[in-house]
Amino acid sequence: MDAPAVIDFHTHSLLSDGALVPAELARRVQVAGYRVLGLADHVDHGTLEGTLIKARASALALNGSLGDLLVLPGVEITHVPPPLIGGLIARARELGASHVVVHGESLAEPVAPGTNRAAIEAGADILAHPGLLSEEEAALAAECGVYLEISGRQGHCLTNGLVVKLARRQGAKMLINSDGHAPGDFYNPGGQRAVALGAGLDDDEYLGLMRHAALLAETFRQRLYGPL
């Protein structure tokens, strides 16, 4: 089957620990077959404002200059203590983030227990690589409308199958994101489909996720520019 253009809300640039400035990142993924590039550089309380100002400036300059590629300036709240996550999500939205990702309890890093629940309860847009997600957390994500990430990132992807199983069972929404940091990490359309199938989704489910991702991209675009 012909896979749809890539929609990826979780990438990193030189604004945190990525390898590329946003302009080069945007050009590379445009060539790879992206329709939507979501910047989501790592932030905490000390770096949120400066990182987001730069991400927004890059996105606003690039949009309209790279064909139909939409660049969205989000953030990834990373290793912030769970009691502080809700306040930082609210502050990111006040500062104009198109979308807020929270770095979930991946098996690959020592993320504080309770991070998944704090992110969901505070209404993050996306819970990235949530690790050993519990049934209760998946149900709460469904109730709160928080998207659970199926990750293409080495290490973070180890629990993709569990996330899919629990999301299906509880009716939670899912997204397929690269968490790309450097050339070679980013998808082409077939690569995004392969991550979906490898996690246990079938093609109908994958295409459904991509349709939902397109609608979500429009929601995030309106946060940046306002309604059409």
Domain spans in the chain, listed from the N-terminal domain onward = 6-225
Q: How high is the mean pLDDT of the chain?
A: 97
Instruction: Provide mean pLDDT across the span 48-69.
Output: 97
pLDDT at 53: 98
Assess whether pLDDT exceeds 70 at residue 49: yes
What is the rounded distance in angstroms from the CA atom of residue 62 to the CA atom of residue 85? Answer: 30
What is the rounded distance in angstroms from the CA atom of residue 84 to the CA atom of residue 25? Answer: 31
With bands split at pLDDT 50, 70 and 90, how would you rate the model's confidence at 228? low
pLDDT at 2: 85
pLDDT tens digits along 73-116:
999 999 999 999 999 999 999 999 999 999 999 999 999 999 99
pLDDT at 1: 77
pLDDT at 85: 98
With bands split at pLDDT 50, 70 and 90, how would you rate the model's confidence at 221? very high
Instruction: Provide mean pLDDT across the span 4-22.
Output: 98
Instruction: Provide mean pLDDT across the span 168-190.
Output: 97
Asked if residues 172 and 166 have their Cβ atoms less than 8 Å apart, the reply is yes
Instruction: Provide mean pLDDT across the span 63-68.
Output: 96
Asked if residues 71 and 37 have their Cβ atoms less than 8 Å apart, the reply is yes
* Domain at 6-225: CATH architecture: Alpha-Beta Barrel (3.20)
Q: What percent of the chain is modeled with pLDDT above 90?
A: 97
216 - beta bridge partners?
Answer: none
Assess whether pLDDT exceeds 80 at residue 197: yes
Residues 6+ apart with CB under 8 A from 142: 167, 170, 171, 172, 173
Model pTM? 0.97
Asked if residues 113 and 87 have their Cβ atoms less than 8 Å apart, the reply is no
| Joined tokens for residue 123 | 């209404």
